Amino acid sequence: MARSRKTPPNIPAIAEKLFGKPERRYLNRELSWLAFNARVIEEANNVRHPLLERVRFLSISASNMDEFFMVRVAGLNDQLKWDNPEPSHDGMSPAQQLTKILARAGELMQWQQESWLTLRAELAGQGIEVLDAAAFDEGALNESDMAWLKAYFFNNIFATLTPIAIDPAHPFPFLPNRSMSAIFDLRHQERGKRMIAVLPFPNKLGRFVKLPARHGKGAHPSSVRLVQTETLIQIFLDSLFPGYEVLASGTFRVLRDSDLEVSDEAEDLVRTYEKAVKDRKRGEVIRLKVARHMTPFLQRFVAEKLEVPPEYIIEVEGMLGLAALSELCDIDRPDLKFLPYTPRYPERISDFNGDCLAAIAAKDIVIHHPYESFDVVVQFLRQAAQDEDVISIKQTLYRTSNNSSIVKALVEAAESGKAVTAVVELSARFDEEANIRWARDLEHAGAQVVYGIVNMKTHAKISLVTKRIHKENGETSLKSYVHFGTGNYHPVTAKIYTDLSFFTCDPELCRDAAVLFNYLTGYAPPVGFSKLIMAPHNMRETFMALIDNEIAHARAGRPASIWAKMNALVDSQMMDALYRASTEGVKIDLVVRGVCCLRPGIKGLSENIRIKSIVGRFLEHSRIYCFGNGHAMPSNKARVFISSADWMNRNLSRRVEFMVEIENATVHEQVLDQIMAANMLDNLQSWEMDGDGHYARLQPGDHPFSAHEYFMTNPSLSGRGKALKQSFPSLRSGGVSGGGLMGYGAKPEASVNEKDKA
């Protein structure tokens, strides 16, 4: 029955009634990020995963934590220095946030160390031993082992080390970001003179040394013995400080403020970013991690020299720099890793003898990475570079690999005389140096290189190829091909990030893409779009209109629903719009991998909103937005969009982003009925969020379903060729182990690891 009320709900008033202050309708962004990293740590303890993959998850969680401090915590510290620091959208001051963040981060770091102890014991049970100093004291190594280690130390490590005595002639050394060092309190054995010395560990020095395999009775057939580099240095310390007695020692690790600040008035962006990157390496120390056994005297000495206040110091009981555990994942033990997966090459492309341009000209296609090969994107550009009839290539570059096949194709195209335009985004965090290098290479090849809009990051991933077509009557015309990607032009991350590559020859979308490139290169006003939706031009307004449309359907008594998949939900205007839609009866299902500041399931405010997060073998990265349009989901009448943008203020207001509606029926069915439906059904790698920001892992019940495994075993719809006739299992009802979307709401576990709820 249609509703009679026409006045829109007053969301701030409803929230104030439920929570007190209006700001309490949102969760804190930083605490939400820490909740995401807790889910990553949980995967390190998930026995469903192979053992070395669990080690990889722990390494990822540690790397995540480093970046969190280098960027987010550093930003809050900077805010404390302002006269009027702006509160977060949940109403907390920077100081209040830091208090809660540091407490929670401390709990998670302790959990990481506990997880490493568990994993280390399990690795030993599988023949992979990580030996510490205690193993040397207990005689776990024989004379042959010690001789080998001594030779290894002097041949591969000794020459890289630079012990530095701290005195008026030898100032305390500069220690780079993420570096680890040791400090020693020494006394000369003959003269009795005391000395403090610092030993920086080269960043490119590996953290683990692999001993030769043991043979003979009792040896594990695949045994691996490893010694941490810092342990090895400790064993042969006499060679670094001959004649000195070590009174005390300790290792420590430095994290520095790594955010870049670039003036809007910079005349030469490349030179400015080059300087900013160099300055970042010398940023203020934001976190000093010290081994717990370090004496108070040495700890104070390091803190004083690095100008680190006490609140920036954290004592670690265990291994410093857990991110280095990624080295263990290179051990050749396939039995302890995920089964190898080779991405499919879309049969549609093969039907055209590998001619990507011909396949795209015949019909729109979506490539679903990493299940389908990123090589399609590379071949698209490579073939365009080699095609004599291709006139121009326009490309945005945000992130790509060091030895980028994408950049090589663009260089080849420019050198062959094609008009190549590259919009290189210099401010892709931690990839600035690589981006500057690509820009130089492209300029040298003859490409036109621009850096987008000052003070507005170009985050859209678009490639536009224009080709001369020869007709039978001798005339020629121009045809354009466009690629829209939800991820980066990065062949390495494309193997682990789930993303979509949408290829089309739709004349209106191709013309819109050209308009967007004109805006990026010449500030031409982005007006006259036929189909393309762009931030900050009209994306937010489009989302608001789509949500209002669902509210109108709900009021009219028709089905009203929203399905959306994104990496982060932070924007307050979007959250208020979703709250408003929920109070009007719109059913909202969100898959938010990381940060989510909306409170779902609150009676009277968000009881129609369900939020889940998927964390597993692959990193969920694609952005998909679906609106029922008056029909029950999934429906071929629903409006389906893919985008480069998350629902964050920076994406919608301060970045150049794209959104494209999927109109081709096959691609529409693939994105909605296959990709989004599988995400909704997943109950093996899914966590459901409650209104307090806590997450509970779903129980699979009688119908276990993994979206990742489903995509690995079923070809995509638009990528199937003529030879592949079978259809994928229906996900609408009864097609997956007897389950289906009609009952996809698996119940969360009654309890989860209490560390995640602390």
Q: Which residues are catalytic?
A: 459
Structure tokens, 601 = 């399931």
Cβ-based neighbours of 434, under 8 Å, separated by 6 or more: 399, 400, 402
Helix (H), strand (E) at residue 102: helix 94-125
Which H helix or E strand runs over 478?
strand 476-485
Task: Write down the residue that tokens 């094609």 correspond to.
Answer: 418
Closest CA to 634 of 583, 586, 668: 668
Helix H or strand E segment including 316: strand 313-316
CA pair distance 58, 112, nearest whole angstrom: 7
Strand order in the sheet with 224-228: 128-131, 224-228, 208-210
How far is residue 293's CA from residue 234's CA, in Å, rounded to a whole number?
14
701-723 burial, b if ≥16 CB within 10 A, otherwise e?
eeebbbbbbbbbebbbbbbbeee
- Give the span between the Cα atoms of 369 and 497, in whole angstroms: 7
In whole angstroms, give the CA distance from residue 701 to residue 712.
Answer: 22
d(CA 12, CA 575): 11
State in Å, rounded, how far the first CA of the chain is from the last one. 44
d(CA 67, CA 256) in angstroms, rounded, equals 10
Omega before 536 cis (within 30°)?
A: yes
Q: Is 504 helix (H, G, I), strand (E, B) or coil?
A: strand
Residues 6 or more apart in contact with residue 367 via CB below 8 angstroms: 346, 373, 374, 376, 377, 500, 501, 503, 716, 719
Residue 159 CA: distances (Å) to CA of 111, 152, 226, 608, 642: 36, 11, 21, 64, 53
